[in-house]
A and B are shown apart, each in its own frame.
Chain A
Amino acid sequence: MRYSAMRVLLEGLTGNRGWKPVWRDPEPKPQYDVVIVGGGGHGLATAYYLAKQFGQQNIAVLEKGWIGSGNVGRNTTIIRSNYLLPGNEPFYEFSLKLWEGLEQDFNYNAMVSQRSILNLIHSDPQRDAFARRANAMLLAGADAELVDAAQLRRELPFLDFDNARFPIRGGLFQRRGGTVRHDAVAWGYARGADSLGVDIIQNCEVTGFNIDNGICRGVETTRGNIRAGKTAVCVAGSSSRVMALAGMRLPIESHVLQAFVTEGLKPLLPGVITFGAGHFYVSQSDKGGLVFGGDIDGYNSYAQRGNLPVVEDVCEGGMAIMPMIGRARLLRSWGGIMDMSMDGSPFIDKTHIDGLYFNGGWCYGGFKATPASGYCYAHLLAKDTPHPTATEYRLDRFARGHLIDEKGQGAQPNLH
């Protein structure tokens, strides 16, 4: 069923009785060419691109709960490609370009809103680092704009320019950055994949891998054994747990990241704003809530909830740069489990087990990567070679010493 304004009108006139399920609810088949483990944004996008771009026919996505129940359903909805390192920037720029055409591509309005993202600059060394990054972005074909405090004051007069503990000295804009309605990304990819024949199987938890002589032949699930030509794991915060079923240890720790939304407010913030001297970033959703977040709680956790010190720290950062939000009320907080890697960058790679592939380590940057992650993973699954923008996301990079450490924090996952 094609979605359009006309369709909405017609359905409205006939009592909205004609709308069909956005995805089917099929029983799992005994065998698929590709089984994707994890019905989050990345898994669904992988299925979609495998079917659409790489002509694969017989694909299943297995989800232990409901699709989109992981980080694609609990994040701060930001998209951007403001990275520094050659291993990252082309990939994220590829992702941003996919976002730009996504809705027309999968015929679902995910509300991709290129409202801009701003990183505030508070010191000279920070400006130097942002200039280096901005140049890297431009050299990779992305957009970037370095502005001074005077221009910022004209654009965002509500920031604290006069009394801030860490004065605002400028900022790095990426005007093409912005936000996307996060749940709709999962639903749009699910709808697109489903319409291309992909079986999306909810409430189907993978409990083991059938590994035979170093070859992965499929998965065991709560809904029976499923054979697979290729098994593609894509489970974010559950990466370590799931890959342990295949006997693998990963350079990943699972951490909780909290995010927050306020009560609805009339339009206030034009884009995404990131505090450069504290832990705070914020945007305003189409519904009017200020959606914001900050640092991860900092300890290994699978609990999908965090604690007060980080809540306070984030709100302190918010008040430090925009004291107008003091009377906005925090409505809801939530926690997602982040697959924090040892250098802050992800993996899209084959494993040492034939037929078993791994995608993970997205830290808290997975949402914006969704399209490219799906596309590049599909590329790897279909062709057994990495996509040109994802050649460095290898599992053996630490052994080789090829670090992709944007923040320069070293093997300390909670600092990335």
Chain B
Amino acid sequence: MIINHPLLGPRDAAEFVYLGDASLIDRPDWQDPLAAEKFHDYLYLRDNPVGNHRELWYHEQGDRSWLVVTRNTLTHEIIKVELATDVARKRGRSR
């Protein structure tokens, strides 16, 4: 596979390490009254769709950036590639 890195252009997916569902960005608040349950769902119940999947890839043999790749799990077509930092900020993560 080839991942079109937003900064570097197309790179072989072999340069990357796969993590999984991009919802791993949405780490719950540790002080939430339901923290135990939310952390369980966060860690263990991830999206596993047939079709488009937003997922985290790490460019370990490259610029060390984490990417959010939208990829079809049936065709492997990659629809979108974003810097995970940008996605995280958009999702309200900061400090």
B30 within 8 Å of A by Cβ?
A: no
Question: Are A300 and B73 in contact (CB-based, < 8 A)?
Answer: yes
Q: How far is the CA of A131 from the CA of B12 in the complex (A)?
A: 40
Question: Are B50 and A411 in contact (CB-based, < 8 A)?
Answer: no
Report if A298-B74 is in contact (Cβ < 8 Å); known contacts: A249-B45, A253-B46, A253-B48. no
Question: Are B18 and A299 in contact (CB-based, < 8 A)?
Answer: yes
**Which residues 1-28 of B have a CB within 8 angstroms of A?**
1, 12-14, 18-21
B79 within 8 Å of A by Cβ?
A: no
Q: How far is the CA of A251 from the CA of B20 in the complex (A)?
A: 12
Which A residue's beta carbon lies closest to that of B41? A249
Which of chain A's residues have a CB closer than 8 A to the CB of B75?
Answer: 303
Which A residue's beta carbon lies closest to that of B46? A253
Least CB distance, B84 to chain A, in whole angstroms: 16
Report if A241-B45 is in contact (Cβ < 8 Å); known contacts: A302-B74, A303-B75, A412-B20. no
Which A residue's beta carbon lies closest to that of B71? A299
Indicate the size class of the contact surface on chain A: 20 to 34
Q: How far is the CA of A156 from the CA of B12 in the complex (A)?
A: 38
Least CB distance, A27 to chain B, in whole angstroms: 29
A307 within 8 Å of B by Cβ?
A: yes
B-side interface mostly? mixed
Question: Are A240 and B44 in contact (CB-based, < 8 A)?
Answer: no
Which of chain B's residues have a CB closer than 8 A to the CB of A253?
Answer: 20-21, 46, 48
Question: A293-315 vs B: 1/0 string, CB under 8 Å?
Answer: 00000111111000101000000
Report if A240-B20 is in contact (Cβ < 8 Å); known contacts: A303-B73, A303-B76. no
Which of chain A's residues have a CB closer than 8 A to the CB of B45?
Answer: 249-251
Q: How far is the CA of A263 from the CA of B30 in the complex (A)?
A: 56
Least CB distance, A319 to chain B, in whole angstroms: 19
Question: A372-416 vs B: 1/0 string, CB under 8 Å?
Answer: 000000000000000000000000001100000000000111100
Which of A249, A299, A398, A411 contacts B55 (CB under 8 A)?
Answer: A299
**Which residues 40-95 of B have a CB within 8 angstroms of A?**
40, 43-46, 48-50, 53, 55, 71, 73-76
Question: Are B48 and A254 in contact (CB-based, < 8 A)?
Answer: yes
Question: Are B55 and A300 in contact (CB-based, < 8 A)?
Answer: yes
Least CB distance, B68 to chain A, in whole angstroms: 13
A120 within 8 Å of B by Cβ?
A: no
A273 within 8 Å of B by Cβ?
A: no
Least CB distance, B46 to chain A, in whole angstroms: 7
Which of chain B's residues have a CB closer than 8 A to the CB of A299?
Answer: 1, 13, 18, 55, 71
Indicate the size class of the contact surface on chain B: 20 to 34
Which of chain A's residues have a CB closer than 8 A to the CB of B55?
Answer: 299-300
Which of chain A's residues have a CB closer than 8 A to the CB of B76?
Answer: 301, 303
Least CB distance, A208 to chain B, in whole angstroms: 15
A37 within 8 Å of B by Cβ?
A: no
Question: Are A414 and B20 in contact (CB-based, < 8 A)?
Answer: yes
Which A residue's beta carbon lies closest to that of B1? A307
Which B residue's beta carbon lies closest to that of A305? B76
**Which residues 246-281 of A have a CB within 8 angstroms of B?**
249-254
Question: Are A303 and B74 in contact (CB-based, < 8 A)?
Answer: yes
Question: Are B44 and A300 in contact (CB-based, < 8 A)?
Answer: no
Least CB distance, B38 to chain A, in whole angstroms: 12
Question: Are A413 and B50 in contact (CB-based, < 8 A)?
Answer: no
Which of A252, A298, A300, A411 contacts B53 (CB under 8 A)?
Answer: A300
Question: Are B14 and A300 in contact (CB-based, < 8 A)?
Answer: no
Besides A250-B45, A302-B50, 17 new A-B residue pairs in contact (Cβ under 8 A), listed by A number? A241-B50, A250-B48, A251-B44, A253-B20, A253-B21, A253-B46, A299-B1, A303-B73, A307-B13, A309-B13, A309-B14, A342-B43, A399-B37, A411-B43, A411-B44, A412-B19, A413-B20
17 contacts across the A-B interface (CB closer than 8 A): A240-B49, A250-B45, A251-B44, A251-B45, A253-B20, A298-B18, A299-B71, A300-B20, A300-B48, A300-B55, A301-B74, A302-B73, A307-B13, A309-B12, A309-B13, A399-B37, A412-B20
Closest 3 pairs (CB-CB, A-B): A240-B48, A251-B44, A309-B14
